[in-house]
Structure 1
Amino acid sequence: MTIFDMAGHLIRRLHQQSTYLFAQRTQAAGIDLTPVQYAALEAINTRPATDQARVAEIIGYDRATIGGVIDRLEKKGWISRVVSDRDRRARELTLTGEGRQVLSALHPIVQAVQQDILHPLSEAERECFVSLARKVVWQGDNASDAGDVEQKSSNTR
């Protein structure tokens, strides 16, 4: 087996290609954003008033560094943080009006990037690839309840 037959190497290379396409397209649109920041915006959009720890869990990012991601999104004016009424130690995150506009502008860009990432594959192969990748990710996610929720919801699509 060569390195070119190893899943880990191929996944790393695909990640590089995906990140490059994402950066290229978002920069061309004049939007300064990383894939992790996009994932955080999506998580906050689908679960308004959630806290930082839950966002980290939802997107599979470590809790120690999600703070920097959230700080940058807040500095851009795309999210707001308020003290939770339920837990004074927690800060609830919501998208601002500008954050909703940015996310709305990003949706077609991100959808196009997804198509470009898998452009050599047929539609059936794309669906199979995503299904298999989802299975590997959720199985390796130590049965996190974020993964379970996302997997169940995507299985019904």
Structure 2
Amino acid sequence: MLADFPLDALPGHYIRRLQQIAVAVFLEETAEFGITPVQFAALQAVRQQPGLDQRSLARTIGYDTSTIGGVVDRLEKRGLLQRQASPSDRRVRQLVLTTEGERVLMLIIAPMQRAQHRMLAPLPPDQRDEFLRMLVALVQGNNELARAPGELG
């Protein structure tokens, strides 16, 4: 016998829907740059830690190591980041932002922040920090269950 589980009682359903909304709002606000949320995360992580290799980048942003190469390929093709040989291990390619990558990151900050504000706008201002705190707790508490566990800050 199948149990009847209404979707509106399942947190996973709302988490999936919120992810769809978050991506849609981000893409709408940042449309002129043609950057996805994952590409933004990758650029920001490389900006914060120049010289990351692809595996470390994937771990830093919680992205699958088998598909991060495609993200890096697209960003490199657009001239936003470069792969450079590591001085200590020629097999390792370190990632660095290009001048254009730095420029795009600086320009995308305001639209990215508008997207974040729009995502939280339905909540009363006094509940937004608490909501973010709860999201972080859920991700931290379930990180090891992820297909691509991330480094937690």
> TM-score normalised to the size of structure 2?
0.91
Counterpart pick for 2:151 among 142, 146, 150: 146
Match of 1:86, SS? coil
The RMSD of aligned alpha carbons is: 1.4
1:2 counterpart residue number: 6
C-alpha separation in 2, matches of 1:135 and 1:90: 34
Shift of 1:145: 7.2
Match of 1:92, SS? strand
1:73 counterpart residue number: 75
Q: Identify the structure with the greater helix proportion.
A: 1
Shift of 1:65: 0.1
Task: Work out which structure has the larger RCO, using CA pairs closer than 8 Å and 6 or more positions apart in sequence.
Answer: 2
Matched, 1:23 2:43: no
C-alpha separation in 1, matches of 2:6 and 2:129: 27
Q: Percent identity?
A: 39
For residues 20 and 47 of structure 1, do their structure 2 counterparts lie closer, same or farther at Cα, with a shift above 3 Å needed?
same
Which has more radius of gyration? Answer: 2
User: Could you list the runs of 5+ residues in structure 2 that have no partner in the other structure?
Assistant: none
Written as runs of structure 1 = structure 2, the 5 A alignment for 1:5-154 is 5-27=9-31, 30-142=32-144, 146-147=151-152, 150=153
Match of 2:74, SS? helix
Q: Write the letter of the residue equivalent to 2:136.
A: R
C-alpha separation in 1, matches of 2:13 and 2:89: 43
Aligned residues, how many? Answer: 146
For residues 31 and 145 of structure 1, do their structure 2 counterparts lie closer, same or farther at Cα, with a shift above 3 Å needed?
closer
> TM-score normalised to the size of structure 1?
0.88
User: Could you list the runs of 5+ residues in structure 1 that have no partner in the other structure?
Assistant: 151-157
C-alpha separation in 1, matches of 2:126 and 2:96: 36
